[in-house]
Amino acid sequence: MISYQPKAEEIKALREATSAPMMDCRKALLDAAGDADRAKTLLLERGAAQAAKKAERVANEGLVTSYVHAGGKIGVLVEVNSETDFVARNPRFSELSRDIAMHIAAMSPQYLDRESVPTEVVDRLREEFAAGVPAGKSAEVGEKIVAGKLNKWFEEHCLLDQTFVKDDSVTVGDLIHRSIGALGERIRVRRFARYALGE
């Protein structure tokens, strides 16, 4: 029985789809027995695992990137940090920073992540969602409905939870995890500001 060996064009296609290193793409294809979708999932999971390992490291280098939407009516400044200046100068890091800035311009997130949403905002949302639970539902079912609506709200308003504007199969958080896997350093969005003409 001949075991599966990824072809060069399969590895290249996976690399183009994920921007992961070639050897990681080859290993993911081997582990997924040639299933490209499964290989993508494996690369995402491995990127997230690497991100978790690197989460305690200090990331004080990086870039402040600007993006002005066509017509000059929307502008964004975003600070993306890395651990070293070497990674901050990597073209992949620059591309990531620009992609995040462009996403912010398009999707107008209010908060960076769930943790940065003020407690009073979350409490107010819980009350609003609870008031909308249909009468006759048990407390347990009501809690699940509120939790589901709250989760959906986070996905719409928090940058890292939003679906990435250029690829709806990943979130912005997944995009960063992929880059951590590829560049080998902790990467984080520290802050951002979005300006819209007249607002």
Q: Which residue reads 């560049």 in tokens?
A: 183
Average pLDDT, stretch 93-115? 95
The predicted-structure confidence for 38-81, as pLDDT tens digits, reads as follows: 888 887 777 656 655 555 555 578 899 999 987 889 999 999 99
List residues bridging with 158 in a β-sheet: 111
pLDDT tens readout for residues 161-199: 999 999 989 999 999 988 887 787 888 999 999 999 887
Question: What's the pLDDT at 84?
Answer: 85
Indicate the pLDDT class of residue 26, thresholds 50, 70 and 90.
confident
Q: Which domains does the chain have, with CATH numbers?
A: 8-54 (1.10.8.10), 61-113+158-196 (3.30.479.20), 118-156 (no CATH)
Q: What is the pLDDT of residue 1?
A: 44
- For residues 96-107, give the mean pLDDT: 96
In sequence order, what are the beta bridge partners of 109? none
Q: What pLDDT, on the 0 to 100 scale, is given for residue 19?
A: 64
Give me the pLDDT at residue 171, please.
94
H-run or E-run covering 25:
helix 22-31
- In 10 A of CB 5, how many CB atoms? 10
Report whether 51 contacts 182 (CB < 8 A): no
Whether the model clears a pTM of 0.85, i.e. scores above it, the answer is no
Residue environment code for 37-69, b if the CB has 16+ CB neighbours within 10 A, otherwise e: eebbebbbebbbebbeebeeeebebbbebebee
Can you give the pLDDT at residue 100?
97
